[in-house]
Amino acid sequence: MTYAEKKWGDCSKAVAYQFNFVKLVYRYSADCYDDYFYLCPKCKNEVEQKKDYEYPKSSFPKNKDYYLLDTYDSGVSEKLKNDLLEFGIAESNFRPIYSRKHNEILGYQVTPKNMLPSITENNAERQIFYCEHCKTKKFEVDDSYFDAYNRLGCPVYISKEAFDKMEHINCLDGEVGSYTVIISLELYNYLIEKYPRLECRPVFIGNVKNDPEYKRLNQSAVKNDDEIIWPECKPQFE
């Protein structure tokens, strides 16, 4: 059973997968976002990465080929990167992660070039911020989205339009500085043969509002005479 099946159940209708790496790797504590990004002069949000990341070697896991950078980018080892290249993923979809003196490459940041249309509406995201200068948008979801599936959050839902524009490795519109990496079903099946414990979240065509767990957590309390019957909650621990 795969990681996705253990966490989200039946994945037979998944059309793609999102990297959902768990191991967190930390930068040097003195580094700031403006060391690596051009910032919008108005809202101060990052708008374009200007420099390859620098990380302490001690922060990297020794026996793991994939990890989450503290910038919320996906990172991979040279071994996993080479497997992706062998599959046919272009070199341009990666940036090296250096040691401070740039005398060693510690891994690779995954930076997909193919951008899918926004799927915020498919995942019940509400816009809470917009900068007219840099066009940055920020969104939030309600608590039930994160409470679902033992607080792992819901699967990703995409539109048919986004699916039709999907290549083997993709990012989402508006994701600058924190790439949400979505891979094709074909690439996922290739990787899962080599990395059986690969941490990925299933992607389905549709809308999260139709997800049974999301619906369960969002259903209204039902009044029955003087009694309020609340939805049954799943245990929060495995």
Task: Return the sign of the alpha-carbon dihedral for residues 203, 207, 209, 215.
Answer: negative
| pLDDT, average across residues 15-25 | 97
Q: Is the dihedral of CA 145, 146, 148, 153 positive or negative?
A: positive
User: What mean pLDDT do residues 11-32 have?
Assistant: 96
pLDDT the model gives residue 218 = 86
d(CA 128, CA 237): 31
pLDDT for residue 174: 57
- Mean pLDDT, residues 201-227: 77
* Residue bearing tokens 């101060």: 44
The percent of residues in the chain predicted with pLDDT above 90, rounded, is 79
Is the predicted pLDDT of residue 9 greater than 60, yes or no?
Answer: yes
CA 217 to CA 232: how far, in whole Å?
A: 9
Q: Which residues pair with 115 in a beta bridge?
A: 171
pLDDT-derived band at 75 (thresholds 50, 70, 90) equals very high
Does the structure show a pLDDT above 90 at 232?
A: no
Please state the pTM of the whole predicted model: 0.89
What pLDDT sits at residue 219? 82
* Structural domain spans, the chain: 3-229
| CB atoms near residue 22 (< 10 Å) | 10
The pLDDT of residue 34 is above 70: yes
- Mean pLDDT of the 68-93 span: 97
Convert the pLDDT of each residue in 134-169 to its tens digit: 998 888 888 888 899 999 999 999 999 999 999 999
Q: Give yes or no for residue 37 having a pLDDT over 70.
A: yes
Summarised one tens digit per residue, pLDDT across range 98-117 is: 999 999 999 999 999 999 99
pLDDT above 80 for 226: no
Euclidean distance between CA atoms 128 and 134, whole angstroms: 15
